[in-house]
A and B are shown apart, each in its own frame.
Chain A
Amino acid sequence: MSSTVRYLQEVFGLLEEYEFRGQRQVVVPREKLFELLKFLKETCGFDMLVDVTCVDYLTYPCPPRWGRFGLVYNLLATETGERLIVRTFCDVETAVVPSVVPLWEAANWLEREVWDMFGIRFEGHPDLRRILLPEEFTDHPLRKDYPLQGKGERHNLPVITRAEG
């Protein structure tokens, strides 16, 4: 595993790599993300994408220096049982990353959820629509600058009385 990480370090210029409680994590620049994931899938045997998720570090006490949003790709090699967590960072202005649906079909709904909740656009996604919230919803509620109680969406519904049946 460590030789793989060393190779990744040389070829893709990792920003950071570390191990936390037995979980190997690498941080990669956004421009190299797709290339690295493609390499991991095709050469290193990480054939399963377990999760794609995102973290908003807006109000974090010690925010990472690479950007506000941390995208997390959770990979698993089913042959060997190895796991690898790949992370990349972006800001509101640069919230566009390449979609990995061409690599793993599983990314389809996961990326839609990240788009729905955080407003990160996945370039090349075949069908980037909201997945959980109603289509007419206009915001991305898991961003930390979105108010917890919303902007009135939950009250903006028609009222039915007895008279209307």
Chain B
Amino acid sequence: MALAGLPNNVLITKLEALVNWCRKNSLWPMPFATACCGIELMALGASRYDVARFGAEVFRFSPRQCDLMIVAGRVVMKMMPVLQRIWQQMHEPKWCISMGACASTGGVFDTYSVVQGIDRFIPVDIYVPGCPPRPEQLIQAILDLQAKIEREGTLFGREFDDPRRNLPPWALVEEPGNRPPPLESK
């Protein structure tokens, strides 16, 4: 083997694994904070909870500089086109965290103007329950997302071509027992 002669300070891995490792440890969140969840999001970025420990401390208010959208708070029907436009302006690969009960389900705001879960209109990777969630929960969400990127990420973002990703959320359509097997890990 040609590898036999390598010095000790050289590591061998797949390019994809290296790219995923880089991506997951350098998430750039786009804070779409429309309500009280936004306050917890700010706490997450501040020194006490310090999301910098997980490499996601650079909050940018331009979607073109971000790859992680955190929707924190309720989204009304007038705001939904804005959210979709911001989502489309973000570069691939990109991910979305739906933070809190309102963003995930509409929460207590079951009224004519409030969208009953942003996943009806844009893709969501991680849901965070809570009203509002504590910053620790959001840290867990970021860790879960990192695990997901490491497990499923591909060099050119082809993981999103899997048709199973474009199904509606399980809770809305099927019994948990009928669930197809999870995506194969690499």
Contact = CB atoms under 8 A, between A and B. Distances in A.
B165 interface: yes
Interface in A108-165: 133-134, 141, 146-151, 153-155, 157-165
Contact of A163 (B77, B80, B166): B166
A159 B120 contact: yes
Nearest to A156: B77
Band of interface residues on A: 20 to 34
Contacts, number: 57
Interface residues of B, number: 23
Given A160-B88, A162-B160, A163-B160, A147 B112 contact: yes
B136 interface: no
Contacts of A163: 160-161, 166
B20 interface: no
Given A133-B78, A162-B166, A149 B110 contact: yes
A150 B116 CA distance: 12
A150 B80 contact: no
B148 to A, nearest CB: 14
Contact of B115 (A133, A154, A161, A165): A154
Contact of B84 (A146, A154, A160): A160
